[in-house]
Copies of this chain bind each other. A is one copy, B any other.
Amino acid sequence: MKITEVRLTPILIADAPVLNVGGVHQPYSPRLVVEVETEDGTCGVGETYGDTVYLGLAERIAGEVVGRELTATNLLLSTAASARTGQHADALSELNSMGLRGSASQDKLRRSVTSAFEVACLDALGRATGLPVHALLGGKVRDRVDYSAYLFYKWAEHPGADDPQDDWGEVLDPAGVVELARRFTERYGFRSIKLKGGVLPPEEEAAAIAALHEAFPGVPLRLDPNGAWSVDTAVRVAEQTADVLEYLEDPTLGTPGMAEVRRRTGVTLATNMCVTAFAEIPEAFATDAVQVVLSDHHYWGGLAATRELAAVCRTWDVAVSMHSNTHLGISLAAMTHVAATIPELQYACDTHRPWQTEDVITEPHRFVDGALPVDDRPGLGVELDRDALARLHERWRTSDVRDRDDVAAMRRAEPGWEPRGFPKW
What is the minimal beta-carbon distance from A120 to any residue of chain B, in angstroms? 14
Chain B residues with Cβ under 8 A from A307's Cβ?
A: 304, 308
Chain B residues with Cβ under 8 A from A99's Cβ?
A: none
Number of this chain's copies in the complex: 2
How many residues on A have C-beta within 8 angstroms of the other chain's C-beta atoms?
35
A72 touches B282 (CB 8 A): no
Residues facing B in A284-335 (CB within 8 A) are 285-286, 304-305, 307-309, 311-312, 314-316
Q: Which among B69, B282, B343 is the interface contact of A74 at CB below 8 angstroms?
A: B343
What is the minimal beta-carbon distance from A126 to any residue of chain B, in angstroms? 10
Chain B residues with Cβ under 8 A from A72's Cβ?
A: 135, 138-140
Query: How many angstroms between the C-alpha atoms of A136 and B343 in the bound complex?
Result: 20
Chain B residues with Cβ under 8 A from A315's Cβ?
A: 278-279, 281-282, 312
Interface of A (DSSP majority class): helix
Query: How many angstroms between the C-alpha atoms of A135 and B316 in the bound complex?
Result: 29
A73 touches B281 (CB 8 A): no
A251-281 interface mask toward B, CB cutoff 8 Å, 1 = contact, 0 = none? 0000000000000000000000000001101
Chain B residues with Cβ under 8 A from A316's Cβ?
A: 282
Query: How many angstroms between the C-alpha atoms of A305 and B314 in the bound complex?
Result: 12
Q: Please give me the residue from chain B that is nearest to A314 by CB atom.
A: B278
Query: How many angstroms between the C-alpha atoms of A307 and B72 in the bound complex?
Result: 15
Query: How many angstroms between the C-alpha atoms of A138 and B135 in the bound complex?
Result: 13
Q: Which among B75, B135, B278, B314 is the interface contact of A69 at CB below 8 angstroms?
A: B135
Q: Please give me the residue from chain B that is nearest to A317 by CB atom.
A: B282
**Shortest 3 CB-CB distances between A and B: which pairs?**
A308-B311, A71-B135, A72-B139
A-side residues, CB < 8 A to B, are 69, 71-75, 78, 128-129, 131, 135-141, 278-279, 281-282, 285-286, 304-305, 307-309, 311-312, 314-316, 341, 343
Of the A-B pairs whose beta carbons lie under 8 Å apart in the complex, a sample of 28, sorted by A's number, is A69-B135, A69-B139, A71-B136, A71-B138, A73-B138, A74-B138, A74-B139, A74-B343, A75-B141, A78-B343, A128-B129, A136-B136, A138-B304, A278-B311, A278-B314, A279-B315, A281-B315, A282-B285, A282-B315, A282-B316, A286-B286, A304-B307, A307-B308, A308-B308, A309-B311, A311-B311, A311-B312, A312-B312
